[in-house]
Structure 1
């Protein structure tokens, strides 16, 4: 049994060694998709900035009127969402590995 496993490992090891490690390559016409991704990234950053500015104004209003404080959660949510959105490429490279 162990000789069969050794032979199979030796055979498949030689076959897999010939495959190599291919490098990713963008398909033809992918520039438009990449441009769309850049636009979406810009929109996400703009949305995060608007969310933080809105939450800051709401925080000032809540402090002025003495209401409940919901705006610190909004600021934290916008900041965490921005970090995740802008680091999506890095996260995918870490998960997939290059």
Structure 2
């Protein structure tokens, strides 16, 4: 075997099983992601509360019913947002 190829194979063999290590400043990024997750959950609760109030107002005044779509959208958005961590853990394989 050619010496250059042998050196390449040796290098790949050494790199095939790296040990995971957190990058610098990763604790700050994780904290930012936790704040963002909290904000998303709070936004979902506020959206559902607002849409519920609007739904009651529309029923009471006899107006057009647009709020059921708002409630469904908020609930679907919240389900996607809260399952994002589970989806990423399944994809990464932690």
**Which deviates the most, 80-89 or 54-63?**
80-89
Q: Does 1:77 align with 2:73?
A: yes
Shift, 1:97, TM fit = 3.3
3-state SS of the aligned residue for 2:22?
coil
Q: Does 1:42 align with 2:38?
A: yes
Flag as ranges the 4+ runs of structure 1 deviating above 6 A: none
Shift, 1:23, TM fit = 6.1
Q: CA RMSD in A?
A: 2.2
Matched pairs, number: 83
Q: Which runs of 5+ in 1 are unaligned?
A: 1-14
Q: Deviations over 1:20-45 (max 9, x none)?
A: 4x564421220000000000001101
3-state SS of the aligned residue for 1:87?
helix
